[in-house]
Structure 1
Amino acid sequence: MGTKRIFPLLMTMALPAMLSMFIQSMYNVVDSMFVARIGEEAITAVSLAFPIQNIILAVAVGTGVGINSVISRRLGEKNYDKANSAVTHGLIIGVIEAVIFIVLGLIFINPFFKMFTESKEVINLGVNYTYIVTMVSFGVIIHIIIEKVLQSTGNMIYPMIFQAVGAITNIILDPIFIFGLFGVPKMGVAGAAIATVAGQILAMTLSVITLIYKNHEVEIKKKGFKFEMKVVKEIFTVGAPSIMMISLGSILVMGLNAILISFSQVAVALFGIYFKLQSFVFMPVSGLTQGAMPILGYNYGAKNRDRFINTLKLGIIVSVIIMAAGNFIFLAFPEELLMIFNASEEMLSIGKTALCTISLSYIPAALGLLFATAFQAIGKGNLSLLITLLRQIIIILPMAFILSKFIGLTGVWITFPIAEIVAAIFAGLMFIRVCKRDSVLNNDGLTLIKDEVNI
């Protein structure tokens, strides 16, 4: 962390996470691609279901991040007993969370869909799909928690394998269950949900077997285990902010869906498709930030400001390259991207403008994401959260509501680049301010652009 050349170190740390995120993106896109073959009502239903799925994912990942933090610190202290206790607490918490989602799902799923549409077909399809993914959410929750447990010991390979197995299983089962192949009954949208949870359960099964039967620095504590609220509090002190940050995506999608449904169901379906497509661009950058954060944190703690600044600069350069490539693809091939989802003429007419306009936000988004990561690495999570709120909620939702009244759907799409540009400028200014006041970073933030990158 403190001596290896920065670029090879960054890529070594980031590539497994980037690959894992890319696999997850592929699974999301393929899932929607098959659902789109059923019809626009089906893709609209799945698009409306996305916020609920994302909240389940947010709770799982946030809880896992908290467990990861506790285990990492206990291992650093050589306190293996408490590290093992954290593993067991995490699994128990995961089961409790799954039960809570079952109860909440039974109560709120039907009213949730009625908030956004009066179409009985969309409501029925959405409710059927969401009931399945919610009632069987234990698969994804337990899988992700164990994934974070293994990552806390430095094991990045097994989590990537679990992700790949789950995604590939879902991709194989999607057409079989949706269209009724090989003697399996045709189940439509419900078949897509069953394929999703089947992949998650298989990934969970492999993760449980790996945790129990493979040798790791940690294991499930059985003898002398006592459930302690102190450990739960410690887990969620770190995990709750992560849950909140990931859940912002759900708030954004729900808010925009409420605006878009006033235009047409096609607009909602289009936004759902876009959100899946953009994950191909944002997920690898998210993986890059996962690789950059421990390097930034280590060198900040070691008071090595040059390596901190150079790691940040390299992270920005790589992420800008990824985002620029994504921007080019969306600008050059919007129709081809939409036709992957069997787009109608109406969807093509509004979709090409949407993809080209929103993709203009990608390059400034790279700056916002990397500065937010730097703030997390130096312990200023409040600034990181504020940048995320600016990017996803504070600017986009009110501006989209206002502009949609004056210039229609285009007003919704242009809020994305506006929000990312404002958030990037704010993040840069805050970073310079922090550098001026920080005893480690001093004024290096002012020379972020001018300094030569030390690769």
Structure 2
Amino acid sequence: MSTIQITRSKLWNAIKLSLNGEQQDYTQGSIPKAIFLLAIPMILELSLESVFAVVDMFFVGKLGQNAIATVGLTESVITIVYSIAIGLSTAATAIVARRIGEKKLEAAAHAGAQALVICLITTILVSLAGVLYAPEILKLMGASEEVVRDGVIFTRIMLGSSLIIILLFLINGIFRGAGDAAMAMKSLWIASIINIILCPVFIHFFGLKGAAMATVIGRSCGVTFQVYHLFKGSGILKFRSAHFNWDPAVVKTIIAVAWPATFQFIIASGSWIILTRLVAETGGTAASAGYQIAFRNFVFFILPCWGVSNAAATLVGQNLGAGHVDRAAQSVLLTARYNAVLMSFVMLLFLFFARPIISIFTTEPVILNFGTTALRIIGSGFIFYAIAMVMSQALNGAGDTKTPTWINFGCFWLFQVPLAYLLAKGLGLHSAGAIAAVPAAEALLALVSWYYFKKGNWKKVKV
């Protein structure tokens, strides 16, 4: 057998091992292999979700620019819900991973269960606010009267399903903290495949609100699969009813890690909301629609990048729990290198093939031109996105969620938002100027995050 055949055989065996979900000890052995085993299912987990984001926009795009704008504006607001979900998920991953590294399996399951209790309490107010104030939310985002009229039902359904969104993220965070990336992948694949199947059918029969209905049904099926495996599955974590008894000490620890992580993503997503509104103000509905198509394609590629970054969070948490500090640091640096190489190819794709990509989703010349420009500008910063994500997730995985929060605040609100207004309105670059602030801010974020990671205070954090 040739060297190439042996290499291919080893690669295929590693892929099968990563997808089988067999329990691995990530605190010893080859670091590249550990990254590979975690990253493959995490990339695949988020890849299909990103496929759905693009498929959804493809079918919604057939309903016209009001529908595209509605979905885009609603998704911008839902990023606040995602922020809560990601904040709780980040805390769950960090704490569960640390307990797994310490070989305290009961404590890991208990921490995950307490995070679910917090989730249920938190979501009630968010869902009610979304259902009751959907028209006002769309108006606040700069939507026209026509967009509000056509899209309010879609927005109500999406915001009213906040519990499902948060549960999907949170439970996958628990699985990832336990090193069971394959289970997290399977649950999101179930949700996304059902979404992709139902979306065109429901849009055909129910219009724009059908897209929201398909999304909620798909995500609900994914959550059902997750819950079954938490209680009845064969994974390393075994949830029991006693784990859900209110534990003030554990709840306090989870909240202490989760609230900075939540604000971390609210800060980031809030700046995106401001930019979305600024694009609508300076370019109109056509610019907003083009920007949303470009943004969905950006999400298509950035979610797998995030998947690789999640591998760094798991490796940091488990290795710190096992007392292997140097191994944790080496894992992050190697993951950042892999992510940067991967995203450099995406950057080239967006720079040279932006127009053909956008033309898949719309043939309207004005929207096509806006979308092409937006995709090229956003795509120019993909290497920076890759590095910044790994560094931030590494700090989060260590339980040091406050440092990335302050970094996000400085880079997004003190730099990106003012720069966007300066370029869009001050220098008269309009929507292109607003979008240009994105790669500039991400470059700064990558540099600052790298500095604080190398400084090493995250090594001393206790959770």
TM-score between the two structures when normalised by the length of structure 1? 0.85
- Is the contact made by 2:312 and 2:331 (CA closer than 8 Å) also made in structure 1? yes
Q: For residue 183 of structure 1, what is the aligned residue in structure 2?
A: none
Q: 2:219 aligned with 1:200, yes or no?
A: yes
Alignment match of 1:324 (pick from 330, 344, 349): 344
Query: What is the Cα deviation at residue 74 of structure 1?
Result: 5.3
Deviates more, 1:47-56 or 1:186-195: 47-56
- Is the contact made by 1:62 and 1:239 (CA closer than 8 Å) also made in structure 2? yes
Q: 2:29 aligned with 1:4, yes or no?
A: yes
Q: Could you tell me how far apart the structure 2 residues matched to 1:370 and 1:63 are? A: 18
Change (3 A) 1:394 1:219: same
Q: 2:413 aligned with 1:388, yes or no?
A: no
Q: How does 1:24-423 map to 2 (within 5 A)?
A: 24-72=49-97, 83-117=108-142, 119-179=144-204, 186-222=205-241, 226-262=245-281, 263-296=283-316, 302=323, 305=326, 307=327, 310-376=330-396, 380-405=400-425, 406=427, 407-423=429-445
1:365 alignment partner AA: Y
Corresponding residue SS for 1:8: helix
- Is the contact made by 1:14 and 1:290 (CA closer than 8 Å) also made in structure 2? yes
Q: For residue 451 of structure 1, what is the aligned residue in structure 2?
A: none
Q: Could you tell me how far apart the structure 2 residues matched to 1:191 and 1:395 are? A: 39
Q: Please, which runs of 5 or more residues in structure 2 have no aligned partner? A: 1-25
Query: What is the Cα deviation at residue 72 of structure 1?
Result: 4.7
2:261 alignment partner AA: S
Deviates more, 1:99-108 or 1:368-377: 368-377
Query: What is the Cα deviation at residue 309 of structure 1?
Result: 5.4
Deviations 1:201-255 (A, max 9, x none): 1112222222232244444433596424443322211222222222234312220
Change (3 A) 1:325 1:393: farther
Corresponding residue SS for 2:178: coil
Deviates more, 1:412-421 or 1:140-149: 140-149
Deviates more, 1:353-362 or 1:288-297: 288-297
- Is the contact made by 1:50 and 1:250 (CA closer than 8 Å) also made in structure 2? no
Change (3 A) 1:70 1:264: same
Count of residue pairs the alignment pairs up: 431
Deviates more, 1:28-37 or 1:138-147: 138-147
Change (3 A) 1:82 1:343: same
Q: Could you tell me how far apart the structure 2 residues matched to 1:26 and 1:273 are? A: 13
Corresponding residue SS for 1:324: helix
Corresponding residue SS for 1:231: helix
Query: What is the Cα deviation at residue 129 of structure 1?
Result: 0.8
Corresponding residue SS for 1:414: helix
Change (3 A) 1:70 1:353: closer
1:320 alignment partner AA: A
1:323 alignment partner AA: M
- Is the contact made by 1:102 and 1:135 (CA closer than 8 Å) also made in structure 2? yes
Query: What is the Cα deviation at residue 430 of structure 1?
Result: 4.2
Q: Please, which runs of 5 or more residues in structure 1 have no aligned partner? A: 180-185, 441-455
1:422 alignment partner AA: L
Q: Could you tell me how far apart the structure 2 residues matched to 1:330 and 1:309 are? A: 32
Corresponding residue SS for 2:381: helix
Q: Provide the aligned C-alpha RMSD in A.
A: 2.9
Corresponding residue SS for 1:261: helix
Q: Could you tell me how far apart the structure 1 residues matched to 2:257 and 2:291 are? A: 32
Q: For residue 445 of structure 1, what is the aligned residue in structure 2?
A: none
Q: Could you tell me how far apart the structure 2 residues matched to 1:86 and 1:431 are? A: 26
Change (3 A) 1:103 1:385: same
Identical aligned residues as a percent = 25
Deviates more, 1:124-133 or 1:371-380: 371-380
1:253 alignment partner AA: W
Q: Which has the higher helix share?
A: 2
Q: For residue 45 of structure 2, what is the aligned residue in structure 1?
A: 20
Query: What is the Cα deviation at residue 423 of structure 1?
Result: 2.8
Q: Could you tell me how far apart the structure 2 residues matched to 1:427 and 1:93 are? A: 29
Q: 2:447 aligned with 1:425, yes or no?
A: yes
- Is the contact made by 1:89 and 1:231 (CA closer than 8 Å) also made in structure 2? yes
- Is the contact made by 1:64 and 1:149 (CA closer than 8 Å) also made in structure 2? yes
Query: What is the Cα deviation at residue 324 of structure 1?
Result: 1.1
Query: What is the Cα deviation at residue 109 of structure 1?
Result: 1.9
Q: For residue 182 of structure 1, what is the aligned residue in structure 2?
A: none
- Is the contact made by 2:340 and 2:383 (CA closer than 8 Å) also made in structure 1? yes
Query: What is the Cα deviation at residue 297 of structure 1?
Result: 5.1
- Is the contact made by 1:117 and 1:123 (CA closer than 8 Å) also made in structure 2? no
TM-score between the two structures when normalised by the length of structure 2? 0.83
Deviates more, 1:254-263 or 1:414-423: 414-423
Query: What is the Cα deviation at residue 304 of structure 1?
Result: 5.7
